[in-house]
Amino acid sequence: MAYEELESIYLKSHDADDADSTQLSIDSALIETNNLVEEPAIQLLQQEMIEMDTREVDLHASIYDQIFANHEMESVFANLDFDQRCQLYFNNLYVKNNNWFLDPHQQMKPDHKSAQFREYRQKNYENFKAEFDRKKDKPKEPNQYDKKLEDFIKDKFNGFKSEEDDEFPQKLVEYFTTVRVFNKCFVTNEDPDQISKVNSFIDYQRQILDRESDRYPFEHTDPEKLSVAKHIEPSAFEHRVYPWMTFEYPVYEHWTGAMVHEPPDAQSLNPQAYKSKSTSKSSSNFIKQFKNRLNGRGIVLTLPDHHTHGVVSMIRLLRALKNRLPIQIVNFEDLALENKKQIVAAARDDIETLPMSYQKVAEYLGDDYFNHNEGGLPKQEVWFVSVHNAINKNYRDKFTRFGNKFLAAFFNSFEEFMLVDDDAAMLKSPEFFFNLKSYQEKGAVMYRDRTTGSSGKRTFFKKLGPSLVDAAMFDIPIITEYTLDREFFKGTTYYIEAGLVMMNRKLHFDSILVTLQTYFFDQIRKKVYGDKELFWLGMALNGDEKYHINGMAAAAAGVITDPKDRLRKNGEEHYSLELCSAHPAHISDEDEHTLLWINSGLSVCHHSSGVDYEMESKVGTKFKFVPQTVEAFKEFFTSPLIIKHAIIAAYDGGWHHNIEDEPSRGWQSTKYCHKYMWCSFSSIGGKKKDGSSNYLEGKVITFEEHETALFKYYADTYLALE
C-alpha cells in the first residue's frame, strides 16, 4: 500500500472531534489481545520505519491493549520519549496487577480432558485414524491399537496447540515481551549505541506524526498517576522479571585456591589483586551492575564430575595451540576436589616432552614453539565458577542437563567468550576464532550441524518474536527474512551444532538473558534438541539478528572410503565418494578450506567405552580395511583420528531417488561407534526412471600433507600419546 494511501486512511480515521472520544476505564476493560496491527498509526509507522514483515503471524502482549484502550496511539508515539514509554509500560503492569511477576514455573500443557480436545478429536478422528492405519508399526492387538491411536491423536492435538492455536504461544509472548522491554529500558539503556538509535527512532516517529502532538496530547489516566511503579527503582522490576536470581554473584575460584565474589579482572594474573568481600543483595540494578563488570576475553565450559577427563584432554590441546586466554569452568555445584586437582595439573604442570608426531610439524610451528623455561607449552589460567548461590532455590530445577550451559553463558565474567562443550576439539587457537571476520562484524558466531532429517512447521517460533507493536513502541525489531529464510524454518531437524559458540556481550548481553530463559519452558525445549538451536533463536526472539551462522554445513572429517570397498550392486564403483566419521567437522566459510574445530574429541570413536565390540565387529558394512575382530576394532576406535579429507554432504532438503544405486540423501547413519558414526556423500542422486537426472554435488576438501600431520600432532596431544 502506498504511503499516500496509508496517510489518507490514517487521517480519515481521526476526523471525529477529540472531545467526543471516551476513554475506557481500566476496571471495565477486559484485557484481550486486539488486532492493534490494523490500526492506521501502526500501519503508517510500519510503512516508514519497520522491516518488511514476512512472518505471516503477529502476537503482541495484552498489556498493550490496556495501554491503547486508554491512550490514542498517536498521543504515545508523538509525545513520549523512550524513558516515558518504559514508565508507561511498567505503570500499566502494576495497574493490571500490583503483584505481577514473571513465573518460570508457568507451564503450558494441553488439557486432554477439555471440551476443546473433545471437539478437536471428534472433528478429525476419521482422518487421524486413516493416517495412523498407514503406519507400518501400528499394533495389531485391539487393546494396544486403541491406546496407541489415542496417543497419536493426543500428539496431533499437542502440535495443534503450539503451532495453530495461540493459547500457549500467547502466554509466552506475555512473558518474553516484558523481559525484552525490561532489558532495553533498564539493563542496556546506558549503552551509547542504543541511546543514539533510540533517539533517532523517536525523532523520526515524531516527524512522521508531526501534527499529532497538538491534536492528541498525552495525559496519564488516574490509575497510572496512582501507580506505585512511578516511585519504585528499576531494581524492584528486576526482582519481578528475574525471580529465579538471588542477585548475588557466583563464586569465582582461581586455580591457586583464591576466591573472588565478584567478576575478576581477566587481564590480571594475580588473584590476590582482586580479592573482595562477598557482594550481597543491593538496591541498585544488579544485572546492569554485573553487565558493567564483565571484562576481557576467555573460554567457558561446564561439566559434570564424570566428564573431567574430557576437560583434561581439552586443556592439553589448548596448551598445544598456545592458548593465552583464561578458562572458566562454570558449574551449578562445585567440582570435587580430586577433579579440580586433575584439571589444574593438566593446566599448570611442566611439559617435558612432546609426541613423536611433533617432529613432522616442528617447522610449521616455529622455533619458539616449545620453551623449557616456561614449562614447555603455555600454562593455562583456570577458574572454577560455582553459580549455586546465584540461583533462587525455588528455581534450581530449571537448569538441569543443558541448562548448565546457559548458566555458564550468562554467569562467566568475560565480556567476550567462547563457550565450548568439553568434547569440542579446536584445530585453531582461540585467538584465531576471535579474529574471524564474521565475529568481528557480528559479535556472535555459531556453526551448523549435519544436514539430516526434517521436521514439521516452525510457526511457533515466529509467534514468540517481537511484535509490530514492540517495534513501534520500543524499536525492538521484528524477525526478518535473515532468520526466517534459514533451513530450520524450512523444516530441517538439526540446524546448529552448539558445541562452540562465540559471543560478544558488549553487543548481545540482553540476548543471552532471553536465550537462557527459553530453556525454562517445555513448549520451547521440546521443539529442539537440548541447546542446539536456542542460542540463535534466543537472539532472534530478542529482536537481535546480528549473528553469523557459518555458511558451510557440518562435514564428515577423516579418510575417504576406498571406492573398491564400496561397490554398486553391479560391481562398478560409485561416482559419489563416501567418508564415515563420528565427528561433525566445521570448515571456515571465509576460505572454504580451513578446518576450525570438530565435535567428539580426537579419537576415531569418542564413545568407544560404550561400544558393543562383539556386535560391531560383525556388522561388516564399513571399515573393511580393519580386521573384523573385537580386538582390531577396539584398537581402531581408540586410535587418533586421521584427517585427510572432509566431505560436506550434498543437500537441498529433498530425497534424490535414482536407478544408479547412488545415495538418495547426503548423510547415512550406521551401527558403528555406538551409532555415532555417520557417512557423508560427496554427491547424491543420478539418473531417474524417466531418463532425467537429479544429481546434486556436495563439497570435497582435501587437506595438505602438512595439515594432516598437524591434525595428527594435535590428536596425539589430546589423547596424551607418546
Give the whole-angstrom CA distance, residue 160 versus residue 464.
16
CA 261, 267, 272 angle in degrees (round to 5)? 45
Q: Which residues touch 42 (CB under 8 Å, ≥6 apart)?
A: 36, 73, 468, 469, 472
Identify whether residues 542 and 689 lie together within a single domain: no
Indicate the pLDDT class of residue 15, thresholds 50, 70 and 90: very low
Neighbours of 269 (CB within 10 A): 10
Q: Please report the pLDDT score of residue 43 as a whole number.
A: 84
Q: How confident is the model at residue 39, as a pLDDT?
A: 84
Residue 523: partners with Cβ closer than 8 Å, 6 or more residues away: 108, 162, 168, 169, 172, 460
Give the chain's mean pLDDT. Answer: 90
The predicted structure's pLDDT at residue 614: 97
Alpha carbons 442 and 546: distance in angstroms, whole number? 5
Q: DSSP code of 114?
A: S
Q: Which of 304-313, 404-413, 568-577 has the lowest average pLDDT?
A: 304-313
Per residue in 531-581, pLDDT (tens digit) is 889 999 999 999 999 999 999 999 999 999 999 999 999 999 999 999 999
Q: Does residue 218 carry a pLDDT above 50? A: yes
pLDDT at 3 over 80: no
> How much is the pLDDT for 323?
98
* pLDDT surpassing 80 at residue 113: yes
Q: Are 421 and 409 in contact (CB under 8 A)?
A: no
Three cell numbers, residue 550:
557459518
Could you tell me if 536 and 572 lie in one domain? no
Query: Are 546 and 443 contacting, i.e. CB atoms less than 8 angstroms apart?
Result: yes
CB 100 within 8 A of CB 240: yes
Question: 3-state DSSP call for residue 560?
Answer: strand
Task: For residue 349, give its domain range.
Answer: 251-449+496-549
CA pair distance 129, 539, nearest whole angstrom:
40
- Rounded CA gap, 329 and 420, in Å? 10
Q: Do 209 and 156 share a structural domain?
A: yes
Residues 500, 490 within the same domain: no
Mean pLDDT of 86-111: 91
Q: Is the separation of the CB atoms in 78 and 473 below 8 Å?
A: no
Distance CA 647, CA 584 (A): 10
Neighbours of 546 (CB within 10 A): 14
Cβ proximity of 86 and 232 under 8 Å = no
Region 442-446 average pLDDT: 99
Is 437 in the same domain as 502? yes
- DSSP H or E stretch at residue 469: helix 468-474
d(CA 68, CA 35): 11
Q: Which three cell numbers stand for residue 26?
A: 481500566
Eight-state DSSP code of residue 466? -
Q: Which residues does residue 669 pair with via DSSP β-bridges, in sequence order? A: 678
Least confident piece of the model among 25-34, 360-369, 446-455, 488-497: 25-34
Instruction: Say which range, 98-102, 207-211, 555-559, 569-573, has the weakest mean pLDDT.
Output: 207-211
Shared domain for 389 and 469, answered yes or no, is no
Cβ-based burial of 19 (10 A; exposed 0-12, middle 13-18, buried ≥19): exposed
Residue 348 CA, chain-centre distance (Å), reads 33
Residue 696: which residues within 8 A CB-CB, separation 6 or more? 650, 651, 652, 656, 683, 684, 685
Same domain membership, residue 342 and residue 424: yes
Q: Give phi and psi for 490, each to the nearest 5.
A: -100, 5
Helix (H) or strand (E) holding 581: strand 578-581
Which has more pLDDT, 189 or 216?
189
Residues in the chain: 722
Q: What angle do CA 296, 297, 301 make, to 5 degrees?
A: 130
Strand order in the sheet with 645-648: 425-426, 595-598, 584-587, 555-558, 645-648, 699-702
Are residues 345 and 311 both part of a single domain? yes
**Can you spell out the DSSP letters for 520-535?**
T-HHHHTTSSTTTTHH
Confidence of residue 305 (pLDDT cuts 50, 70, 90): low
- C-alpha cell, 504: 560478544
pLDDT of 14 higher than 80? no
Which of 106-115, 152-161, 399-408, 682-691 is the most confident on average? 682-691
Cell of 333: 555445584
pLDDT score of 21 more than 50 = no
Per-residue pLDDT, averaged over 103-109, amounts to: 85
Q: How many domains does the chain have?
A: 3
Write down the pLDDT at residue 271.
Answer: 56
Confidence of residue 172 (pLDDT cuts 50, 70, 90): very high
Q: In terms of domains, do 334 and 371 share one?
A: yes
Our measurement of the distance from residue 624's CA atom to the centroid of its chain's CA atoms, rounded to an integer in Å, reads: 39
| b/e per residue 382-398 (b: at least 16 CB within 10 A) | bbbbbbbebbbeebeeb
| Cα–Cα distance, 447 to 585 (Å, whole number) | 10
Helices (H) and strands (E) in the chain, counts: 28, 20
CATH number at residue 292: 3.90.550
Q: pLDDT exceeding 70 applies to what percent of the chain?
A: 93
Q: Which residue has the cell 496512582?
A: 226
pLDDT at 200: 96
Mean pLDDT of 42-56: 83
pLDDT band at 333 (very low <50, low <70, confident <90, very high): confident
Q: Find the radius of gyration of the CA atoms of the chain.
A: 29
Tell me which of 173-177, 184-188, 211-215, 452-456 is least confident.
211-215
pTM for the model stands at: 0.90
Q: What pLDDT does residue 281 have? A: 44
Q: Which three-class secondary structure state does DSSP give residue 326?
A: coil
Q: Where are the alpha helices (DSSP H) in 134-247?
A: 142-163, 167-182, 192-208, 212-215, 222-226, 234-241
pLDDT at 212: 65
| DSSP annotation of 638 | T
| Confidence label for 280 from pLDDT (cuts 50, 70 and 90) | very low
Residues 660, 686, single domain; the answer is yes
In this prediction, residues 291-316 reach a mean pLDDT of 92
Instruction: Answer yes or no: do 505 and 487 share one domain.
Output: no
Task: Say which residues have a Cβ less than 8 Å from residue 427's Cβ, sequence separation at least 6.
Answer: 595, 596, 597, 598, 710, 711, 714
Give, rounded to a whole angstrom, the gap between the first and last alpha carbons of the chain. Answer: 71
Residue 157: how many CB atoms within 10 A of its CB? 20
Local structure of residue 42 (DSSP, 8 states): H
DSSP string, 416-437: EEEEE-TT-EESS-HHHHHT-H
How would residue 28 be classed by pLDDT, with cut points 50, 70 and 90?
very low
611-629 tens-digit pLDDT: 999 999 999 999 999 999 9
SS (H, E, C) 100-111: CCCCCCCCCCCC
The reply to whether 510 and 541 lie within a common domain is yes
Q: At what angle do helices 337-348 and 308-320 cross, to 10 degrees?
A: 10
Q: What is the distance of C-alpha 687 from the center of its chain?
A: 40
DSSP helix/strand/coil, 587: strand
Ranges 3-17, 451-465, 585-599, most confident:
585-599
pLDDT at 456 over 50: yes
Model pLDDT, residue 431 = 98
